[in-house]
Amino acid sequence: MNVVSSVKIDLAVHLGSASMPVHQLLRMGRGAVIELASTESEVFTLFANDAPIAHGEVLVDGDRISLRITDMVPLPRHEI
């Protein structure tokens, strides 16, 4: 097996944000719904190990949610 193929990467998607008082957050339980300040058609950001790597769109098909990458975030240039 190639060494690179065994490297683990944490992926996260930022779909939106919400603001609420702590007491409301503490009252939430299983099945609670948090309304995000975004819509289905807004662009998301994909993060790999906490670094943004791509932007895209959310696709909803029945009960399935998918992500389509539309553009990659340019990598920062490192000076030598």
Contact 18, 32 (CB under 8 A): no
Asked whether residue 23 is domain-assigned, the answer is yes
68, β-bridge pairs: 57
Assigned domain for 79 exists: no
Q: What is the CA radius of gyration of the chain?
A: 17
Q: What does the pLDDT read at residue 80?
A: 61
Structural domain span for residue 55: 8-72
Q: pLDDT tens for residues 18-68?
A: 999 999 999 999 999 998 877 767 889 999 999 999 999 988 889 998 899
pLDDT in the model for residue 59: 87
**pLDDT confidence of 69, banded at 50, 70, 90?**
very high
Question: Is 78 a member of any domain?
Answer: no
Q: For residue 77, is it within any domain?
A: no
Q: CATH number of the domain at 14, please.
A: 2.30.330.10
Overall average pLDDT of the 6-16 stretch? 90
**How many CB atoms lie under 10 A from the CB of residue 44?**
19
Q: Is 2 among the domain residues?
A: no
Burial class (CB in 10 A: 0-12, 13-18, 19+), 54: middle
CA distance 53 to 58: 16
Count up the domains in the chain and report the number.
Answer: 1
- For residue 34, tell me if it sits in a domain: yes
